[in-house]
Structure formats: C-alpha cells, structure tokens
Amino acid sequence: MAGHGSSNGKVVPAAYPPPVDSQKEFVKRGLDAEDELIEVGVVIVGGGTAGLACANRLLALLADDHETMERLGEVPVAVIEKAKTCGGHNLSGAVMRPGPLQELFPEMTREQWREEGFAFGEVTKESVYVLPNGKTKLRIPPPPPQHNHGNEVISVSSLARFQQRQAEEAGAYILTETAATQLIVEDGRVVGVRSGDKGRGKEGQPLGNFEPGTDIKAHATVLAEGCWGHITGAAIKEFDLAKDREPQVWELGVKEVWKVTKPLDRVIHTLAGWPLKISAKYGQIGGSWMYPMKDHKTGEDLVSIGFIVDLDYADATTSAHDLLQQIKTHPLFKDVLEGGERIAWGAKALPAGGYWAMPKLSMPGAVLVGDSAGIMNLASLKGVHYAIKSGVLAAESIYAALKRGETSFEDYEQVVEDSIIGKDLWEQRNTRQPFQKGLLRGGPLVNLMIATKGRFPGGRWALHRNDAKPMFVGKTRESYPKPDGKYTFDKLSSVFITGNATRDDAPNHIRVQKRVPRELAETWRWMCPAGVYEIPEDAPEHGEVDVIVNYTNCVQCGAITAKGGRLTVPEGGDGPLYQIT
C-alpha cells in the first residue's frame, strides 16, 4: 500500500480516520420507559464556565417566577459534569474581560472575586515580544485585540468551582463524575441525554461495581462541553449544523502555574518566532504567555505560563509541552521563574476557526454554548467572557420559550449574533485564515485583517482542516531541552501532578487506528502532552508501525481529534483534577 494516504510522499492524517461513527454510536433514538428515566427541566451537559453561567442565570430568572419553576418539575436545572468536581477538567490562560461575569453576579465586586479565590488581580501593564532566538527579545506594540489593560487574571478551574457553589445554593442538581455519552433524539427533536455506564472493564465487560447509565429527559438541552464536544460532534452531524460553514480548526495549549519569589508586574505575550520555526514548510504558528497571579488569601505570588501551538503544523515532532519547556529557558521567562516552584500543569485544546467555523447554534430542543459552539476569539485569545455571555443568553432564550410553553430556541442564534460575541467575532472573521499560508506569507495579511476589522481583503476566507495537512518527521524535536525535573519537566511527571485518576482497567476512550505510517504515529507521540502514544522500540523507521495507546494517562485535552483520532468521553470521574489552571 505504498503511497496510501500520502501527498507528495507525506502522510495526511485524514487518510487514517478514527474507527467511530458518532451519529450511530452517540445518538440514541427514543427515550427509555417513563419509570426508567430521570426527568428534569433543563439539562446542561458540561459544568465549565459556559454551562454553569447558563445554570446560574436560569436559576436567577426562575427564582422570581415560581409558576415556570414549578412547571419544570422537581429538578428544574441539572448540570452533568464528567470531572470529579466542576473545574476539575477546566484550563485556560487566563486573562478575562470582566463585563459578562460582572453582569452575571452584579452584587459582587472584583475584590470579592479575589477573596473567593478565582481572581488574581487587574492587569495594569502589558508587554508583547517577538523572540528572535533563545537569548534576545524584541518588544512590539500590542496589536489592538491584545490590549488587556483593566482585564482580570483568573483561574477558570477555580471560577467553575465558585459557579458550582452558586448554582447549588440556587437549587441546581449537579451530577459530577458523570459523563453524558449519548444525545437522545425523538421525532427529530433533542429530548435529553444519556449518562454513561460506570464500572466496565477493558473489553467493555461489566465489572462487580457496574452501574448502567440513565436517560435524562429534559424540556431543553444545553451542550456546553467545551472544545471538541463528544455529544456536540454527534449533534452537529445529526442536525447538519455545520452546513455551509468552514471546518473547525484547533490549537493546543500547555500551561504551568509557578509560585515565584518576586512578583511579576505585567502580562506578557510572545508571538510567533523562537522557539517555533518560521518557514512555511513547518507550518508552526503559536505563542506564549506569562500572567501575574497574586493569591489574595495567602499573599503568595504566582505566575501562569503557557505555550499555544496551532494544530495546523506539518512537522510531526512539534510538541506543545516541550516547546513550553524550551521557552522557559529564555531569559524573559527564566528571570521570573528561576528559584520558584512549579505547582500545577495541564493541557487543553481550543477552537480557533472563529466566525465562519461556528456551527448553527440551535437545533430542535437544544442549543450550543461556549467552546462547544466554537465561540472563541483567537486574535485576542479570549473565550471565557464569551462562554459566560453565551451561557447567559442561552438561559434567557430558554427561559422565555419555556415560559411561553414552547420548546423552540431558534432565536438564540440571532441574540448571540447581535451581542458582543457576534460583533467581536465578525471583526476577526478572516484573521485566522491567512496563518494557514504560513507565518511569512500570512502574517502581513493577518495584520491587515486586524487593522481593517476583517474588511480587507474582504469576503469569506476559507479554512482547511488540520488533519488535511501532510505530515513529515522534521527537526523541531532536536532543540527541546532535556528535562531536569526541577525547572524543565517530562510529560509523565507533569501528568502526575494533575491528580489524574483513570482506572488502569477502564475501557479505552481514545479512538485511533492502531497501525499507521511512522509519520502519523510520531505526530501523535509528540503532540500528546500526556505521553499517551508510544512507538515500540523495534518498530521500523519507515512504513507502518503499531501504536501503543496508554489511554489511562490521557488528560482529555482533545488535541487528538484535530490530527486523525477521536477523544470520546471516558467514565465519569476519570482524568485530571485541576485546581488552579
């Protein structure tokens, strides 16, 4: 099969699709009998910032409207979250625009956010650099979308825990350690979701502690699964929500939190340049951040540092984790971190396609919010405040419809379009696309798109899928630093500090072809921040190899879905337990 799946001798991940049929496997036709299911008013899949904002707002509206509250039954609002607790699977930079959170909890001050432990101070200074090499730096004026003055540094993991407490106090039923595995569709309408089985063995066989999943029937279903949603993907296919849209594309971010000896006084970003290779052949686009975090409870000075790489790269040896380790060796970062201590690590993908890649946001009986809907502004690296805003807007549309006795939430899409989400994403509608031509050719066009708010060169710019990019085994790996376990770290010790607790005998939730060309196996091996994919030592240098999938290490970052595989939901409770990412 020489040449199979290759372009000019290079391997295209899309030629090795994962063994999965999401519509067949993840859409359930019809509900179980009434006495075998749980009935709720509104079911929200995903207890991240977006899903919880939806719950917070819905409960605030229902608190003043007992008639509608009663109509929704004993459990008006239920949130399903696969992590051990809300926040356990959430990770972000994160510098947040404060507006939508202030509107959601108008009685709270920003000082109170900090006392609650999810906010770490207002941004007063910022610097943007290009790094020509591993020693020098070139300061540039921050591009307009990256103005952060007045924003707040937060931890989304801590914010989700706070929102969970608020939702529970207001009467939400929060099912943590529970994965939603199937969308339930009856007569062309979403009528709820099914929770996953627990206690299955490696081969899917029921173990002694087996508990079957349950149908959760709802008047409205909100898909808030974040980047690469398991059920969202099935819903997009089932209801053709991506018709006439551009394909979604992704980036992968790896983050650490450090306790440092002296405070950092500003938000720092680096764009493109070192340690990435700028030639179009490598297709590497990305950048880094360093944000100051003052823990107001302990008085400790913390720093959030991270590296984001566009998953459209072509060199199979590109590794966001190792690039983060490498960038820490630059004096810009070393001067801040050295002498400090790493206290957290994590990884997560983010949707980067922007306006044209957003699917239709509603279907009969259900809506999409936050990253699940692709609502993310890559030019400014902002998604948190849009996630909150979209959750709030979904809550308001659903509430108004249910109050009228209807279950169509069609108006939600227009409300989003008319809000800051629609306005901001429209202005950046063509910013992402030129980068797919490479940094040198695309960079000037990106600047033009930003300066003219997408008007020049106008029209609708196309995106190509990340898995359509031919891969080659290049030289990026040669400059990664050797981990010393103190300042630079390997993947496995990093996964260890996430508190990852996946059962060794759990069924495999990663769908990939196991026998693939070396180029693809190397892509997965280097890309995966958790070291899930291994190539046997005696595998041939060229041709097809058998990939070993150590799926219990997986931190559910979602990146594999961009490069030829598929992350499906593991058993509820599995995976990392992030605290401050």
Ligand X SMILES: Cc1cc2nc3c(=O)[nH]c(=O)nc-3n(C[C@H](O)[C@H](O)[C@H](O)COP(=O)(O)OP(=O)(O)OC[C@H]3O[C@@H](n4cnc5c(N)ncnc54)[C@H](O)[C@@H]3O)c2cc1C
Q: Which residues bind ligand X (CB under 6 A)?
A: 45-51, 80-83, 89-96, 156, 179-180, 224-227, 229-231, 253, 255, 306, 308, 348, 350, 370-372, 376, 381-385, 387, 569
CB nearer to ligand X: pick between 92 and 553 = 92
Q: How far is the CB of 321 from ligand SF4 (least distance, A)?
A: 10
Give the helix ranges, DSSP H, for 105-155. Answer: 110-116
CB nearer to ligand X: pick between 41 and 145 = 145
Task: State yes or no: residue 579 binds ligand SF4 (CB under 6 A).
Answer: no
Q: Kindly write out the interface string for residues 471-510 of this chain, putting x where it contacts ligand SF4 by CB under 6 A and - elsewhere.
A: ---------------------------------------x
Q: How far apart are CA 163 and CA 87, in angstroms?
A: 9
CB nearer to ligand X: pick between 255 and 328 = 255
Q: How far is the CB of 347 from ligand SF4 (least distance, A)?
A: 6
Among 439, 557, 569, 580, binds ligand SF4 (CB under 6 A): 557
Total residues in contact with ligand SF4, by rule CB under 6 A: 14
CB nearer to ligand SF4: pick between 195 and 552 = 552
Spell out the residues 6+ positions from residue 429 whose beta carbon is closer than 8 angstroms to its own. 354, 355, 356, 454, 460, 461
Give the helix ranges, DSSP H, for 150-194. Answer: 156-169
Task: State yes or no: residue 311 binds ligand SF4 (CB under 6 A).
Answer: no
Task: State yes or no: residue 273 binds ligand SF4 (CB under 6 A).
Answer: no
CB nearer to ligand X: pick between 38 and 535 = 38
- Residue 121 contact partner, candidates ligand SF4, ligand X, none, CB within 5 to 8 A by sort of partner: none
Give the burial class of 532: count Cβ atoms within 10 A of its Cβ; 0-12 exposed, 13-18 middle, 19 or more buried. buried
SS3 call for 78 = strand
Task: State yes or no: residue 43 binds ligand SF4 (CB under 6 A).
Answer: no
Q: How far apart are CA 273 and CA 134, in angstroms?
A: 10
Q: How far is the CB of 558 from ligand SF4 (least distance, A)?
A: 5
Radius of gyration over every alpha carbon of the chain, rounded to an integer in angstroms: 23
Q: Kindly write out the interface string for residues 526-545 of this chain, putting x where it contacts ligand SF4 by CB under 6 A and - elsewhere.
A: -xxxx-x-------------
Task: State yes or no: residue 556 binds ligand SF4 (CB under 6 A).
Answer: yes
Q: How far apart are CA 491 and CA 526, in angstroms?
A: 10
Closest CA to 191 of 166, 220, 170, 169: 220
Burial 254-269 (b: 16+ CB within 10 A, else e): bbbbbbbeeebeebbb
Question: Which helix (H) or strand (E) is 217 found in, with range?
Answer: strand 215-223
Q: How far is the CB of 2 from ligand X (least distance, A)?
A: 38
Q: How far is the CB of 170 from ligand SF4 (least distance, A)?
A: 33
CA angle 526, 318, 535 (to 5 degrees): 25
- Residue 50 contact partner, candidates ligand X, ligand SF4, none, CB within 5 to 8 A by sort of partner: ligand X
User: Widest CA span of the chain, in angstroms?
Assistant: 68
- Residue 555 contact partner, candidates ligand X, ligand SF4, none, CB within 5 to 8 A by sort of partner: ligand SF4
Q: How far apart are CA 525 and CA 79, in angstroms?
A: 34
CB nearer to ligand SF4: pick between 380 and 556 = 556
Closest CA to 46 of 136, 210, 164: 164
Q: Which residues would be at the binding site for ligand SF4 (CB under 6 A)? A: 510, 527-530, 532, 554-560, 567
